[in-house]
Amino acid sequence: MSLLQESGKDFGLLILRVFFSLFMIFGHGWNKLVEFPRLMDTFPDPLGIGPMLSLSGAVFAEVICSILILLGVKTRFFAVPAFITMMVVALLVLGNDPFVRQEKALLYAVVYLVLIIAGGGKFSVRD
């Protein structure tokens, strides 16, 4: 692979990491973090671990993991909980809903799967 192709791939991974992380943080995770006290007793509990632990896991994946993925810190490692969270949302939380409701979680899951496979690229803090 030429240097230009390699740089293009790494730049593409940077764009993917940054934008999907920002979309996840501000589109999904931030509200859960801010509303944590109000949501901790009523949050969906698809794994049977309790609403507070389910909410904590979602906040961890959607905010903490997303920040670290955005920066490119152990991208493959932190994409795993984010991937699992999106699969739980798509298959368990929205499992009986029409595909159109599951689609967004599945799209995020595919992006996280790509990052698990490809890593964060050269433009990472520490991949």
Q: Nearest-CA neighbor of 68 among 7, 118, 112?
A: 112
Residue 3 lies in a domain: no
Residue 124 lies in a domain: no
Q: What pLDDT, on the 0 to 100 scale, is given for residue 19?
A: 98
Structural domains of the chain, count: 1
Q: What is the pTM of this model?
A: 0.92
Q: What is the mean pLDDT of each run of 10 residues along the chain (127 residues)?
A: 75 96 98 98 96 98 98 98 98 96 97 97 88
Q: What pLDDT, on the 0 to 100 scale, is given for residue 126?
A: 79
Are the CB atoms for 77 and 100 separated by under 8 Å? no
Residue 127 lies in a domain: no
C-alpha 119/C-alpha 127 separation (Å) is 7
Residue 37 lies in a domain: yes
In single-letter form, the type of residue at position 79 comes to A
Domain extent, residue 93, equals 8-118
Q: What pLDDT, on the 0 to 100 scale, is given for residue 7?
A: 83
Residue 15 lies in a domain: yes
Residue 126 lies in a domain: no
